[in-house]
Amino acid sequence: MVTRAIIYFSFILSFLFISCSPKHSEIVLAELGGSELKMGEFEEAYIKNAGGLDQAKTDSLSKLKNFLDLYVNFKMKLRDAQVRGYENDSELMNELYDYKKKVGVTFILEKNIVEPGVQDLYNRRKWELRVSHIMIRPDSAGEEAARLKTAAILDSIKKGSSFDELAKRNSQDYYSAPLGGDIFYVTSGFLPVEFEDACYRTAAGKVYPEVVKTRFGYHIIKVTEKRERVPKIKASHILVDFNNADGEMDTITAKATIDSVKMMLSSGADFAQLAAQYSEDPGSKDKGGDLGFFERRMMVKEFDEAAFNLKVGEVSDVVKSNFGYHIIKLTEKASLPSLDEERENLKKIYKQTRYQDQYDKLVDSLRNKYSYKVNALSYSLFVEKSDSVKVGDESPKLEEINDTPLYTYANQTVKTSDFWQKMGASQDFVNRIVTSDLLRNAIKKISGEDLLEQEALNLEKTNASFASLMEDYKNGIFIFKLQEDEIWNNISIDSVKLYDFYQNTKEKYVWPDRVSFSEIFTRKDSLAQAYLAQLNSGANFDTLASKFTERPGFKEKAGKFDLVDAKSTQLALEADKLINPGTYSSVISNAGGFSVLRLNSKEASRIKTFEEAKAEVSGAFQEFESKRLEREYLDSLKKRYNPVTHYDKLEKAFKE
C-alpha cells in the first residue's frame, strides 16, 4: 500500500511538473523593472543578428550569453525611451513616417511585383520553345483591317489549312516567312510580353487560338517544340572556307577537304590536331578549334541547331553555313544557374520587359481600393491656365487655382498647388511646356506614387514582416536619440583635456623608423643605367629627376618622397639600406620598371609630439569618453531597472 502511494504521488508530481513547465518560447531569460525577456523574443532577435537559424543553432553558449547581455541593455534603453516619451516626439515620429512611406513602397514593389515576377521568369527560362508565326502589319490598311485579315488566316488554319504555306504566302515578317514562319528557339525575356505569354500558354505542336497584338502588328503563333533549356554550351569546330587561297569560290574543293577531315575523325584522329592543321577560322584554330561558351542565337542558325543537338563529346556531321563547311564537337554543357545566382540578371530582364505593365496594374488596383478620382473641372482649369507655361516656373494664372482640388483618394485631397510643386520636383516633367497630354501623364505618375505611399502607411496592419521591420527601425531611431542625448552631446573636447589625455597615452602614438628619398624612375633598364652613369660623372640628381623620372606626378617634385615608413614599400626598404644622406643606389628593378634612389634623410622611431598626434588623440579621446559615458548611462539604467539574468536557461535556446 505504501509503495503504491509513493508511485502514485511520484506520478502526480511528474504530471504537475510537465504541466507547469513553461512553453519553450515563454521561458524567462531575464527580468528588468517589472517586465520579462522571454525565450521567443530572444531567439528571434538572435537569429536576425546571427544571419539565420542554422547559424544560431551552431553558436556557442558564450556567444549566446554575450548577446543576452547586450539585448538586456538594449531593452533597458527602450524602456528609458518610453519613459522619456519618444513616442510623442514629433521630429522622431516624422522621421519614422517618412521612412515608412519610402521603405514601404520599395517593400510593396519588391514583394508584390519584382520577386514573383523574377520567380516566374526563372521558371519559364528553364524551357525553350521553337516558335513560328504569321505577322500582319497595320501599315496603310489600318488596325482593324489588319486584325480582320489575321483573324481570317487563323480561321483557315483552324479548318485545316497548312500553317507553313499560309506563313509563306501572307506573313509580313519577311525574314521568317520563307521558312514557314519559323523564328527558331526562344526563351522568356526574349520576345514582346504579349507574344511570349501566348507562346508559354501553347502546347508543342499547337497553334494559339487567338490573334495576338504587339507593337509590331498582329500575329498567329505556333509552338513547334518545347524542351529543357541549356543556357550555354562549349564547342570546338573545324571550318573550311568556300574560297580557295586565291580568294575564289571553290565549294567543290572545300567539300572534298571537309569530307576528308570527317573521315580522319571517324578513324580516330585527334580533333584539336586536325583543327590546328585544317581549320580556316583564325580565331580558334590555334586553340584546337575551341570557341568557348556561347548561348542560343549567338551563332548562325545552322551551326546553332547542330551544336545544341549534340551530346557532350559527340562530333557532328558536316554542317554548311554562310561561312563555309563546319565539323562541330560539343565539349561541355552548362547547367542552369540557381535562382540566387541568376537573380540580378533576371531582375534586369524583368524590369526591361514586364515591370511597367505589372506596376500599372498594381496602381490601378489601388485606385479602386482608395476611391481615387480626378476633379474634371480642376483639370480643365489647370490646362487652360497653364498654356505655354514651363513646369517649374511661377505662373500668376495658376496661382488663381492653387486651392482647387485636383484629385482625391482615401479621403485625402491633393490641391493644384501641391501637385504643381511635385511636378516641378520631378525630372520627368521639369522645364517642359504644359500640355493636356503632359498633365495627364503627370497626374497618372504622381497620383500612382501617392497611392503607393498610402498603401505603405497601411502595410503594418497586413504584413507581419513589414511591421517587424518598422518596429526595428523605430527602436533604432530611439536608441540613436538616446546615444545622442546621453553620450555624444555630452562629450566635451578642449585643448587642455586633449593634452592631458595625450600625456597619459602618448606611448600609443609612435612614428616607426622613417626614410625620405628621391627617385629617378624609367621603364627601360638601359635608360636607368645611363642615368646612373651620369650621376657617377657628377650630374645633379634633382636635375635629372626633374627632367627624366617617369613616375606620374613626380617630375615637379624632382622625384622626392617625403618621410615614409622604412618598411612600407620596396622602394623605402631599398632607400633605408643606404647609410649616408646624399648617397644613391645602383639600378633597382621594381614593379613596372627600374629606379635609382638617393637617400635624403632617416629618422629613428620616436613618440609623436602632441601636434603631430593631435588628430589621433582627438579620435581616441572621443572613443574613450563615449565608452565612459556609455558605462555610466548603463549603470544608471541597471540601478533603475535592477535586471536579473538567467544564464542557465540559455542551454535550452534553439533546442525546439
Residue 637, judged by CB atoms within 10 A of its CB (0-12, 13-18, 19+), counts as buried
Q: Where are the domains of the chain?
A: 2-72, 127-228, 233-333, 510-607
Task: Select 510-607's CATH number: 3.30.70.2190, 3.40.50.2000, 3.10.50.40, 3.30.420.10.
Answer: 3.10.50.40
DSSP string, 312-335: TT-B---EEETTEEEEEEEEEEPP
Q: How many CB atoms lie under 10 A from the CB of residue 451?
A: 22
pLDDT of residue 245: 77
What is the average pLDDT across 427-436?
Answer: 93
| Integer Cα distance of 82 and 89 in angstroms | 11
Per-residue pLDDT band at 21 (split at 50, 70, 90):
low
For residue 10, pLDDT over 60 is answered with no
| Integer Cα distance of 164 and 494 in angstroms | 89
Is the pTM above the cut of 0.85?
Answer: no
Q: Are 163 and 207 in contact (CB under 8 A)?
A: yes
Query: 3-class SS at 136?
Result: strand
DSSP H or E stretch at residue 357: helix 355-369
- Measured over the CA atoms of residue 170, residue 172, residue 173 and residue 174, the dihedral's sign is positive
H helices then E strands: how many in the chain? 24, 21
The rounded mean pLDDT for the chain is: 93
Long-range CB contacts (within 8 A, 24+) of 261-267? 261/327, 262/317, 262/318, 262/327, 265/315, 265/327
pLDDT of residue 11: 37
Per-residue pLDDT band at 61 (split at 50, 70, 90):
very high
Q: Which residue has the cell 519610402?
A: 102
pLDDT of residue 3: 44
pLDDT of residue 14: 39
Instruction: Report which of residues 500 and 386 the model is more confident about.
Output: 500
User: CA of 39: how far to CAs of 42, 54, 202, 260, 517, in Å?
Assistant: 5, 17, 53, 78, 63
Q: How many CB atoms lie under 10 A from the CB of residue 13?
A: 10
Q: Which amino acid is at 512?
A: P
| Integer Cα distance of 450 and 348 in angstroms | 25
| Integer Cα distance of 310 and 235 in angstroms | 10
Q: What are phi and psi of 642, to 5 degrees?
A: 45, 65
CA neighbours closer than 13 Å in the CB half-sphere of residue 482:
25
Beta-sheet pairing, 319-321 with 233-240: unpaired
Which three cell numbers mark 628? 565612459
| Integer Cα distance of 420 and 205 in angstroms | 55
Q: Are 583 and 502 in contact (CB under 8 A)?
A: no
Q: What is the DSSP letter of 247?
A: S
Q: How many CB atoms lie under 10 A from the CB of residue 512?
A: 13
Domain at 233-333: CATH code: 3.10.50.40
| Integer Cα distance of 339 and 328 in angstroms | 31
Domain at 127-228: CATH code: 3.10.50.40
Q: CA angle, corner 373, sides to 368 and 376, nearest 5?
A: 150
What is the average pLDDT across 52-72?
Answer: 94
pLDDT of residue 612: 96
What digits encode the pLDDT tens for the residues 456-504? 999 999 999 999 999 999 999 999 999 999 999 999 999 999 999 999 9
- Measured over the CA atoms of residue 136, residue 141, residue 143 and residue 147, the dihedral's sign is negative
For residue 15, pLDDT over 60 is answered with no
pLDDT of residue 5: 41
pLDDT of residue 568: 95
For residues 255, 261, 262 and 263, what is the CA-based torsion angle, rounded to 10 degrees? 110
| Integer Cα distance of 301 and 320 in angstroms | 10
Task: Confirm whether 127-228 and 510-607 share one CATH topology.
Answer: yes
For residue 577, pLDDT over 60 is answered with yes
Which three cell numbers mark 552? 606620374
For residue 17, pLDDT over 70 is answered with no
